[in-house]
Structure 1
Amino acid sequence: MRRTSTVAALAATLLITGCTAADKDKPAPAASTTGETKIDYSAWAAGRSTPVADQLYPEKGNAGLDVLHYGLELDWKPDTKVLTGTATLRIRPVADAGELKLDFTGLAVDRVTVDGKAATGTVEKGKLVVPGAVTADRPVTLTVAYHGTPKQVEMPSHRGDASEGIGMRSSKDGVLWTMQEPWGALTWYPVNEHPSDEALYDLAVTVPQGWAAAASGTPGPIEGSTYRYRSVDPVAAYVTTLAVDRYKRIEQTGPHGLKITHFVVPKSDDRYLSTLKKTPKLIEWLEKRFGPYPYPSAGALMNGSISAMETQQMLSMGRAAFTESDLREFEAVLVHEYAHQWFGNAVTPKTWTDLWLNEGFATYVQNLYEQELYGFDDAYLEKYLREADARLRKRVGPPGKPTAGTFAESNVYVCPAAMLKELNDALGDEKFFALAAAWVEKNRNTNQDRASFTAFVNEQTGKDFTKLIDAWLDSPTTPA
């Protein structure tokens, strides 16, 4: 996930940085029987999810709806700072209901249709409500036209980067970008904002001449000043992204012919270019340990944030987070965010209670890379992790029992990373990396939780690690 804070350790500076999808064995959704023309929704079957309600943030998301696909047609005017959009959502109702309710805020609704028929839509308290009966497993198409200037919302955390808010924002000169975990997509399109509901995406973003749009997904053709992106693997809303700036595109080829695209602003981002261009080697390093990169494209965009984020297939790297940093820190955070493509994006937690599944893995992977980058030994890493773990459990609590007001604080990074090191020590490198690679391979494009992780570890290793995992996730003090 995004970058949080700088921690003095690890021979230099250790950074703590910072879904799902479809169950392919399930039958495809039935074709719509409403409206004038029947629509075959099987084209978006890979976006099928099993949404659940969140215990930490029950006000976000709608467990009664499964969005299969988002088609977003957006137009950004930097001079007026107005975003105009048309969002077409292919939705599978999970249960009978008298309305469609999605997360959405800050923008004016111009027009709403359901299966091509005019409908009403009101926005209040962060929700778009469209009255009208829907039937379980009978998909509908919701289209919403809207406009306005996006505004960020509060992040429920004490993190240093929480002060800038989450969601879409524009700067005085018309530059547009977003950082949006655990929610914030709702500031620029109607969305079922919960990690358990992943969907496929098609984005078309029109910008003025001289500007460029960078977004999550695989870059498609540029038609005039319209930039297109497509996600054929399901995506959780919090790892979608969009940025508009006077970007220059830099293209590379990675392992196995992987298409890599970076978006940088000349002069502002020159100091990061040499590190960004290490991406093929960084992905090779990750693949040797965790198996093939899980998506058809990779890359990173630079934006004005003080954070960084594992946005799917296109990392969001905030230049303001690294202006005074050693470039090795930027490199280590790149590894962290690329590691999330395996841990967090390809395999996503069911609810925010298990955010440690994302951040623990990405942090430990970063730690291992930093051992090579800075040259510290295993004993030093052990000492750092245990000391940091003790401080964080005392200040924030154990990682397996997060509270609503402390989202993504450092305990869900460092403490589970320490647990994974214990597991690594117990298994040895060969078996540990095989276990981690198998976790992704066998659970790709699914949502998982603590119970499924524990069961997987025990089954794959033939040993019972339940007590070790539970102790590191639940203990108020660092386990012995």
Structure 2
Amino acid sequence: MAGLALVALLAGCTAETPAARPGPTAPITTQTEEYAAGRSTPVLDPIYPEHGTDALDVLHYGLALDWSPTKRTLTGTATLRIRPTKDAHSLTLDFKPYTIDVLTLDARPVTGAVTREKLVVETPVRADVPVTLVVGYHGKPSQTPMPSQRGDTHPLGLTVDSQGGVWTMQEPFGAFTWYPANDHPSDEALYDIAVTVPTGWSGVASGTPVGQDGNTFRYRSTVPVASYATTLAVGKFRKSTAKGPRGIPVTYWYRADDPAVLTHLKRSTTLLSWLDKRFGPYPFESAGVVVVESGSAMETQQMVTLGNFFSMVDARWFDLTTLHEFAHQWFGDAVTLTDWRDIWLNEGWALYAQKLYEKETYNISEADFVRASRQRDGELREKYGPPSRPARNQFGASNVYYGGAAMLRQLHQALGDERFYALARGWVREHLNTQQSRASFTAYVNKTTGHDFTSLIDAWLDSPTTPPETGPLPA
């Protein structure tokens, strides 16, 4: 939860399949070749192994969702194109215990149940023989606990706000609170999301806007998205549009009772241009921000989810938070970590981009920048340990932000501006829409620079204390 760190810095029930009940119409077809870009190599997470599975690869999610503010009820039809990765007697996905109304596999009714945040579909599958699972469901959303001891966190997943709308933030997991998912970043997929809402309300989701039919808002992701980077928000929003770098469309959704926030949001195009100039072209077809009733922020893909808390602070904090989340569109969304051990790979890049912007915009000297960064890094290593070993109950602790950013600063110092930014742009360009790890990052740095930076990277990621300063490479 990038925004949470900035603030720090700065029971399961079972639902057997009943008779079919009509739900929203799924917005997609199910031809496997259409979804080849959604193919992944899922892994079991070493920190949160209870979320996600390596037994299947979801290629595409078609989500048709209907939110009732008066009943506080979500009704949905999820159509999943799934590639099993091994022979199995059943399919298992992460899912909250909604009432299941329809459950079919390849258009045939099947038996399944939701128990302890898992949907188990009792039907055999074969490795690499894709299947289409349809789940119709309804119920009142509930959240899942955040695995953190920080005081600025809140439960994860779909949240009902004070006006009867909903929003979600879900890192490291929580997408399963509103649709059945293989809720792990190693299994990225394509998405079609249709959100139906009452008249006068708006439905917002991650992906590229592809039109509105009456009260149904549609979004599509033709490049892979990790489940934690999807978003859903329903509210009485106002909408504003702009053009970002290279003409990309930018959309702002903000609450009608907070019109002043639009002044801040309009700074987004400047922030995106700053990032584009240094890290290469914005990696998606569209960008945007939706403002929700939260004290946090999240780098949800193509549509940053920003808590309204940030409209209550000064313009500097708003800019830094928004830039941080936009930086994740390159580092975390376009290139995604393979598992949660490498959260520094997302947060280190985003924080370093934020610090570079802050230093440049607010005239912070290099000496003050280095001194403050090293001091904070030392404090965090002493409290939380090195960034390469995040604790299960300390998700998003600030050591993974500062340690990763400090390592990148040392690389920057060693390489100089031209070579460092070339390295950053190449990392995104050459690994676009893939999942990467510490090993692949280290290999890329060494190959691209022609120097062995393994010891430097290892020191910053593994040392219990702040590593010593090093100088630039010899000319």
TM-score, normalising length from structure 2?
0.93
Q: From 141, 148, 167, give the equivalent of 1:150.
A: 141
- Please tell me whether residue 113 in structure 1 is matched to residue 104 in structure 2: yes
Q: From 442, 464, 470, give the equivalent of 2:452.
A: 464
Figure out how many residues of one structure are paired with residues of the other and give that number: 450
Instruction: Give structure 2 stretches of 5+ with no counterpart.
Output: 11-28, 469-475
CA–CA separation in structure 2 for the residues paired with 1:291 and 1:337: 16
Counterparts of 1:174-185 in structure 2 under 5 Å? 174-185=164-175
- Please tell me whether residue 195 in structure 1 is matched to residue 180 in structure 2: no
Partner of 1:19: none
Runs of 4+ in 1 over 4 A off after TM superposition: 5-8
- Secondary structure (helix, strand or coil) at the match of 2:90 reads strand
CA–CA separation in structure 2 for the residues paired with 1:84 and 1:7: 34
- TM superposition shift of 1:39: 5.7
- TM superposition shift of 1:275: 2.1
- TM superposition shift of 1:305: 1.1
Q: From 119, 124, 141, give the equivalent of 2:132.
A: 141
Q: Residue type of the partner of 2:290?
A: L
- Please tell me whether residue 402 in structure 1 is matched to residue 390 in structure 2: yes
- Please tell me whether residue 86 in structure 1 is matched to residue 86 in structure 2: no
1:4/1:160 contact within 8 Å kept: no
Counterparts of 1:133-282 in structure 2 under 5 Å? 133-162=124-153, 164-268=154-258, 270-282=259-271
Q: Residue type of the partner of 2:277?
A: K
- Please tell me whether residue 98 in structure 1 is matched to residue 86 in structure 2: no
2:6/2:321 contact within 8 Å kept: no
Counterparts of 1:18-97 in structure 2 under 5 Å? 40-97=31-88
Partner of 2:288: 299
Q: Residue type of the partner of 2:78?
A: A
CA–CA separation in structure 1 for the residues paired with 2:216 and 2:364: 47
- Secondary structure (helix, strand or coil) at the match of 1:457 reads helix
Q: From 325, 343, 346, give the equivalent of 2:331.
A: 343
Q: Residues 107 and 397 of structure 1: is their aligned pair in 2 closer, same or farther, counting only changes over 3 Å?
A: same
Q: From 104, 109, 116, give the equivalent of 1:125.
A: 116
1:106/1:150 contact within 8 Å kept: no
CA–CA separation in structure 1 for the residues paired with 2:265 and 2:365: 26
Percent of aligned pairs with the same amino acid: 54
Q: Residues 380 and 363 of structure 1: is their aligned pair in 2 closer, same or farther, counting only changes over 3 Å?
A: same
CA–CA separation in structure 1 for the residues paired with 2:290 and 2:311: 14
Partner of 1:25: none
2:159/2:168 contact within 8 Å kept: yes
Partner of 2:472: none
- TM superposition shift of 1:6: 5.3
CA–CA separation in structure 2 for the residues paired with 1:5 and 1:137: 40
RMSD: 1.3
Partner of 1:32: none
Q: Residue type of the partner of 1:314?
A: M
- TM superposition shift of 1:5: 4.6
- TM superposition shift of 1:40: 3.2
2:5/2:396 contact within 8 Å kept: no
Q: Residue type of the partner of 1:239?
A: A
Q: Residues 159 and 313 of structure 1: is their aligned pair in 2 closer, same or farther, counting only changes over 3 Å?
A: same
Instruction: Give structure 1 stretches of 5+ with no counterpart.
Output: 9-13, 16-37
1:49/1:66 contact within 8 Å kept: yes
Partner of 2:307: 318
Partner of 1:423: 411
